[in-house]
Amino acid sequence: MDTLFSVGKIHKAKISPEVAEESRLFPFLYYFVGDFLTEAKERVTKLEASEIAYFLKGVTNLHSVIASDEKLVAKEESFRQALLEHLNQDHTKVGNFDPYTVSKVLRYLLKFNDGSHQAQEIFKSFSLLLA
């Protein structure tokens, strides 16, 4: 998870389509990020809160890279659905999130503009932490 976090820090800036196509690095980066999203989806139930936080921060920072490739968009949406399903099934896990993890989950959901019912349930769970 730390690897994707680090890659996200490097590629935080918006990337123009011309640069993405000219660079031979981007096909590998697309594959690399897609592989991480697939692996994280399969292991989402085993991730600790800190791993979720760092992974989501990396994914959020790579938003422009993900948005520039349709396959990555689909993989990210699939991962997000698996994450939200998992967090909504086990509210005790959400109740144990520290403020840093809560902020990264919220930032991730807002960056990817997720207003789904499942995302709203997470928002409600987080609001109960404040009560």
Measured on CA atoms in the order 5, 59, 73, 92, is the torsion positive or negative? positive
Summarised one tens digit per residue, pLDDT across range 58-86 is 899 888 889 888 999 999 999 999 999 99
Q: How many domains does the chain have?
A: 1
**7 or 110, greater pLDDT:** 110
Query: At 14, is the pLDDT very low, low, confident or very high (cuts 50, 70, 90)?
Result: low
pLDDT above 90 coverage of the chain, percent: 37
Please state, in angstroms and rounded to a whole number, the distance separating the CA atoms of residues 60 and 112: 8
Which residues form the domain of 74?
2-130
Taking only the tens place, the pLDDT of each residue in 15-44 is 666 766 676 667 778 888 899 899 999 999
* Tally of residues, the chain: 131
Tell which wins on pLDDT, 126 or 4.
126
pLDDT value, residue 109: 93
Q: What is the pTM of this model?
A: 0.81
